[in-house]
Amino acid sequence: MTEHTLTVAGVAVDTRHWIGGERVASAETFTDVSPIDGSVLGEISRGTATEADLAVAAAKAAFPAWAATSRAERARILHAVADGVEKRIEDLAIVETTDNGALLRSHRRGVMPRVAHNFRFFADWLLKLDHEDFETRGHTNHVSWDPAGPSVLITPWNAPLMLSTWKVAPALAAGNTVVLKPAEWTPLTVSLLADIAAEAGLPAGVLNIVQGYGSEIGDALTSHPDVRRISFTGSVPTAQRITQSAAANLTPLSLELGGKSPLLVFADADLDLAVDLAVEQYDNAGQVCLAATRILVEETVAEEFTRRFAEKAAAIVQGDPRDEATDIGPNIHERQLEKIDGFVRRAVEAGARAVIGGHRGEGRYYAPTLLTDVAQDSEIVQEEVFGPVLTLQTFTTEDEAVQLANDTRFGLAATLATGDRDRAARVTQRLVAGTVWVNCFFVRDLQAPFGGSRHSGVGREGGTWSFDFYCDLKNTVTAPKGWKDHG
Catalytic positions are 256, 289
What is the signed CA dihedral for 335, 336, 338, 340, rounded to 10 degrees?
A: 170
The identity of residue 148, as a single letter, is: A
Q: Enumerate residues 6+ apart whose C-beta is below 8 A from 226.
A: 56, 57, 59, 60, 149, 150
- Cα within 13 Å of Cα(12), Cβ side: 8
For residues 110 and 108, what is the distance between their CA atoms, to the nearest angstrom? 6
Residue 195: burial class (beta carbons within 10 Å; 0-12, 13-18, 19+) = middle
For residues 448 and 405, what is the distance between their CA atoms, to the nearest angstrom? 23
**Residue 65 · residue 350 · CB < 8 Å:** no
SS (H, E, C) 84-147: HHHHCHHHHHHHHHHHHCCCHHHHHHHHHHHHHHHHHHHHHHHHHCCCCCEEECCEEEEEEEEE
Q: Which sign does the torsion angle of CA 179, 9, 87, 13 carry?
A: positive
For residues 63 and 77, what is the distance between their CA atoms, to the nearest angstrom? 16
For residues 73 and 252, what is the distance between their CA atoms, to the nearest angstrom? 27
Specify the 3-state DSSP secondary structure of 350: coil
Q: Which of 278, 296, 269 is nearest to 418 (CA)?
A: 269
For residues 390 and 292, what is the distance between their CA atoms, to the nearest angstrom? 8
Measured CA distances, 227 to 65, 152, 280, 471 (Å) = 17, 7, 39, 13
**Residue 415 · residue 405 · CB < 8 Å:** no
For residues 28 and 172, what is the distance between their CA atoms, to the nearest angstrom? 30
